[in-house]
Structure 1
Amino acid sequence: MRIGFGYDVHQLVESRRLILGGMDIPYKRGLLGHSDADVLIHAIMDSILGALALGDIGKHFPDTDMEYKDINSMELLGRVYNIMIENGYEVGNIDSTIAAQAPKLAPYINDMRKNISEVLHTSINNISVKATTTEKLGFEGREEGISATSVCLLKKVIDN
């Protein structure tokens, strides 16, 4: 078994959609980034790549490459899934947290979990997504950005 940790943060800006966990969340601002800036999915990808000791998403999907401009992060998660499988691992479980003062994310959490579990070919019971505020402290509390953390456990695939 291998454990990985991921963290990501993006700034909230006008004229962008807010994409979290592969969901288009209705909100007055979205996250700035080269891709769709889905901080949750980015943190999850980094936790998987970290568990495999294969670097981070910047190494695999650099923001200097126009191939990844505005790309759907769920597509990138699918590519990370393929890397994980090629290295002989599968998801044991993932535990992640989104830190955002607003909007309220509770109504979207189960759909996020479903999206992630489908791309990673694992049970939704192996995917935990939580949301929290920072009690108006820090950049998340001032609604300047949103961050996400993720820890994953990968299991070696055993061939019978």
Structure 2
Amino acid sequence: MWLACLQWDDEGSGLEGDSDGDVAVHALIDALLAAAGLGDIGSLFGVGANVHGAGMHGADMLRETIDYLHAHGAVVQSASITVVGNRPKIGSRRAEAVAALSRLVGCPVSLTATTTDRMGFTGRGEGLAALATALVNID
């Protein structure tokens, strides 16, 4: 499983998706593009098995997104991601994930986690969700 640019070996096969399924990175990319008024992850990478983003690693997608933002005069100032789910326990690797994300984005990226108290698909352990916000300056 890939989450927040880290591989979590103890979490099984990971999440399904056209890419590596890193929901934290995908939410961050959506927030970055939306804050810059440049669409969303689907408009940049496509949707489906035969598109540009198919099979891509989340870190590579994030690098490409940052390059795309810079090419359009956008500079990320800060970002925040919240992962919703029971596992993995983010706290054990939070500092490592924050360092990886911040290095890739080029500014502080915070990472938090929460549960839904056993409600819904995340509460039943059937998957994860992530929400992100970003502050982007446009030249």
> What TM-score, normalized by structure 1, do the two folds share?
0.80
Deviations 1:83-131 (A, max 9, x none): 1111212111111100011221211111111111111122xxx211001
User: Which of 73, 87, 90 lines up with 2:72 in the alignment?
Assistant: 87
Query: Residue type matched to 2:124 in 1?
Result: R
Q: Does 1:128 align with 2:73?
A: no
Q: CA deviation at 1:156?
A: 3.5
Q: Does 1:145 align with 2:130?
A: no
Query: Residue type matched to 2:60 in 1?
Result: E
Task: Flag structure 1 segments of 5+ consecutive residues without an equivalent.
Answer: 1-17
Q: How many residues align?
A: 137
Contact conserved, 2:74 with 2:137, CA < 8 A, in 1?
A: yes
Structure 1 residues 152 and 24, CA, compared in 2 at 3 Å: closer, same or farther?
same
Query: Residue type matched to 1:135 in 2?
Result: D
Q: 1:55 aligns to what SS in structure 2?
A: coil
Query: Higher mean Cα deviation, 43-52 or 95-104?
Result: 95-104
Relative to its length, the structure with more helix (as a share) is 2
Task: Flag structure 2 segments of 5+ consecutive residues without an equivalent.
Answer: none
Query: Residue type matched to 2:69 in 1?
Result: M
Q: CA deviation at 1:66?
A: 4.5
**Which has the larger Rg?**
1
> What TM-score, normalized by structure 2, do the two folds share?
0.91
Q: Does 1:19 align with 2:37?
A: no
Q: Which residue of 2 aligns with 1:42?
A: 26
User: Which of 113, 133, 153 lines up with 2:98 in the alignment?
Assistant: 113
Q: Which residue of 2 aligns with 1:3?
A: none
What RMSD, in angstroms, separates the aligned Cα atoms of the two structures? 1.4
Q: CA deviation at 1:67?
A: 4.1
Structure 1 residues 54 and 66, CA, compared in 2 at 3 Å: closer, same or farther?
closer
| Cα distance between partner residues in 2 of 1:39 and 1:95 | 13
Q: Does 1:99 align with 2:81?
A: no
Q: 1:48 aligns to what SS in structure 2?
A: helix
Residue identity over aligned pairs, in percent, reads 28
